[in-house]
Amino acid sequence: MSLTIHCVTQDIEFAAVLDELLSGTTLGASIVVHPADQRRRQLPEPQEAGDSALLLLDADCLGQQAFELLEANNEIAALIVGAAGTESLLCEAHNRSGCEFMLKDAEQRYLQLLPCMIRKLLLQRDRYETTSDMLRSSEKRYEDLIQAIPDIVYKIDPSGRFTFVNDAVRQLGYTPRELIGTHFSSLLHTEDVPRVSRSQVLPAMRGSITGPSSAPGLFDERRAGDRCTHGLEVRVRRKNGASAPNMIASVTAYGEIAAAGHYRTEIQQRFFTGTVGIIRDVTQRKRSQQMLHELSLAIEQSKTAVCIARADGRIDYANPYFLRMNGHRPEDVLGQNLLDLLSEYLQEESAAEVLEAIQSGAVWEGDSIVWRRDGESYWSWIKIYPVHDVDAEVQSYILFLEDITDRKQSEAWLRQNLQDKDRSLQELQQQMNGNLQLISGLLAVQQDHTIEPQALRELNRSAIRVIALETAYEQALAGANWNRIDLRGYLSTVMPQLARRYGVDPVTLSVEFQFDSLELALDRAITLGMIIAEILGYALDECDIRYLSVSHQDQHARNSLTIRHGGSDIFGSAAEQPSAGGETDDSRSMLLRIVEFLALRVDGSFTHDEQDGARYNIEYRE
């Protein structure tokens, strides 16, 4: 580390004395003498790190020209010396540049103090440089912090133009460079500028006293302390072409006042340098606030009672309908314990279930009788819903109540009405069965007094049709759904009865069902049963058939029921001659017309053929 003293003087003797003086000290300084006529030249800076330089000016030689040299070399520590008569020059040089000065005396005693003054200057310079390094480091950290903040930090000059904007402004589509030098109004929504601009707000308020609480919010703020702008909300425009919508922002701004550094008659001289502020995006918060406001209005106007309690059970909120429905005043509910309130007004068993659900942090939902404050009761739907935080801890409980008394009464009326209708229907079906049995009995009486064979056959078939109807209604009454019956179970019950009517032992009759249980509408099952009864009756009575198979297929929109036996087709060409039992072609034609008529009743069709025996097929729509 070396020290170079640049001595600017015309006094060669002064330079020589100075060199001799410093050579006997520990400063280790080298002196470079510069003639006064070269004073305008800027002195060279140290070549190596750690080296230092000092400027020593002889005011006797330089006079007013010393100021130019101090200004040209303002980064170097400076000392100016002068004889008596230069005091004003020395003081002015000190005031302008902050340099140190010494006054020469006739006995040259100042030279003895010169090394101490040089050491002082070097020490001050070291401290200054250390402080400057710390300040630069601090400023760098401050700048890095400002750039890392997600909020927009800005500074505007007294005219309202941006002098600094951090990188957070890029979220609006701008770069900081684009905004520097532009007026702050270019960043705001046009309609918001008049209410936040100092030049437009303050003239309208001239003469009024606001105080800190009512002070107007300004984007180009000049006040500091309690009256500065806080929480000013403005709409910030994004750059043209940016895809996101405008931002709603909250602005905090402070006026920056700088002191001039000197005082006159105890009055501080101050001047305004600009405004610093922070713009925070509150768009989502505003949307959330709007949503909360709308939800709050919805709850306030809701016909469902709502009550909110803390985790310890203390009630914080009850909507107006909750108070009206239960006959409470706000002071009767707010601050009270929710469990105590429910235990007092709910059924005992419901209150116990609610308590258990709350203790386990579970949702509880159910119907219960609730007693109002005046002692009246009503049916209520109740739901207790726990609200959990991110750690799955219960933060609060929300209680919903809805008066369902009318619904309960309607349900009770409907149940009673359905029971009455069921009884009436059962009675009607019983009467129908009784009437069918009566008709069957009348047919039996008529058969007993009829001699002609063909008439007996027709009466027997009419009786069989009645039996098919009667059996179907009995099956419907015995089932869970009176309007639907199982086709297989129905046919299994009807066929033995048909065999007996035709004098055939049911044991000798074999019917193979090639399908499982099949539930059909009552009218469909009756119609299909009657078709099978017609065909089976003829096969038993006229063709002596004892084995049949019945199959069913589901073919999308249409179904198919098929009956097979090993004999000839009773409706085929082979059956055109009268049968052994005396059945005529007219009776067969009538039977075919009856079967086709019944098939039409189920929106179906009837076909018959001889493939491996006789086959009868009914296609119908279910």
Tell how strand 605-610 and strand 614-621 pair up.
Answer: antiparallel
Token pair 């309908």: residue: 321
pLDDT in tens, 83-139: 888 888 889 888 888 888 888 888 888 888 888 888 888 888 788 778 878 888 887
Superfamily name and number for 149-203+215-261+268-283? PAS domain (3.30.450.20)
Burial of 531 (0-12, 13-18, 19+ CB in 10 A): buried
Token pair 């209005």: residue: 297
Token pair 């001799």: residue: 20
Confidence of residue 231 (pLDDT cuts 50, 70, 90): confident
Contact 168, 161 (CB under 8 A): no
- 66 Cβ contact list (under 8 Å, min separation 6): 39, 57, 59, 80, 89, 93
Q: What is the pLDDT of residue 579?
A: 47
Q: Which fold has domain 434-621?
A: Heat Shock Protein 90 (3.30.565)
Distance of CA 244 to the CA centre of its chain: 19
Closest to 66 in 3D by CA, of 84, 88, 40: 40
Confidence of residue 162 (pLDDT cuts 50, 70, 90): very high
In the chain, what are the domain boundaries?
A: 3-143, 149-203+215-261+268-283, 302-403, 434-621
Tell how strand 77-82 and strand 52-58 pair up.
Answer: parallel
- For the record, the structure tokens of 370 come out as 């609730």
> Count of CB atoms within 10 A of residue 42's CB?
10
pLDDT in tens, 552-576: 888 777 888 899 888 888 887 544 4
Token pair 């619904």: residue: 407
- The SS3 call for residue 20 is helix
- pLDDT exceeds cutoff 80 at 82: yes
Contact 364, 398 (CB under 8 A): no
Token pair 């009864």: residue: 533
Q: Let me know the angle formed at the C-alpha of 448 by 444 and 452, rounded to the nearest 5 degrees.
A: 110
Give the type of residue at 30. S
Contact 616, 575 (CB under 8 A): no
In degrees rounded to 5, what are phi and psi of residue 228? -70, 165
DSSP string, 187-205: GB-GGGHHHH-HHHHTGGG
CA-CA-CA-CA torsion sign (10, 11, 13, 17): negative
- pLDDT exceeds cutoff 60 at 408: yes
Which of 173-177, 194-198, 468-472, 598-602 comes out lowest in average pLDDT?
468-472
Contact 565, 548 (CB under 8 A): yes
| Averaged pLDDT, 502-515 | 86
| Averaged pLDDT, 12-25 | 76
- pLDDT exceeds cutoff 70 at 52: yes
CATH class belonging to 302-403: alpha beta
Q: What is the pTM of this model?
A: 0.46
Identical fold at 302-403 and 434-621? no
Q: 3-state secondary structure string, 416-484?
A: HHHHHHHHHHHHHHHHHHHHHHHHHHHHHHHHHCCCCHHHHHHHHHHHHHHHHHHHHHHHHHHCCCCCE
CA diameter of the chain: 178
Contact 369, 378 (CB under 8 A): yes
CATH of domain 3-143: 3.40.50.2300
Q: What is the pLDDT of residue 243?
A: 44
- The SS3 call for residue 85 is coil
Closest to 575 in 3D by CA, of 586, 564, 566: 586
Q: What is the pLDDT of residue 47?
A: 54
- 144 Cβ contact list (under 8 Å, min separation 6): none
- The SS3 call for residue 438 is helix
pLDDT in tens, 233-259: 888 888 875 445 677 777 776 666 555
The per-residue pLDDT of the chain, averaged, comes to 80
Confidence of residue 27 (pLDDT cuts 50, 70, 90): low
Contact 166, 149 (CB under 8 A): yes
Question: In Å, how far are 12, 24, 90, 112, 545 from 17, measured between CA atoms?
Answer: 9, 12, 22, 11, 155
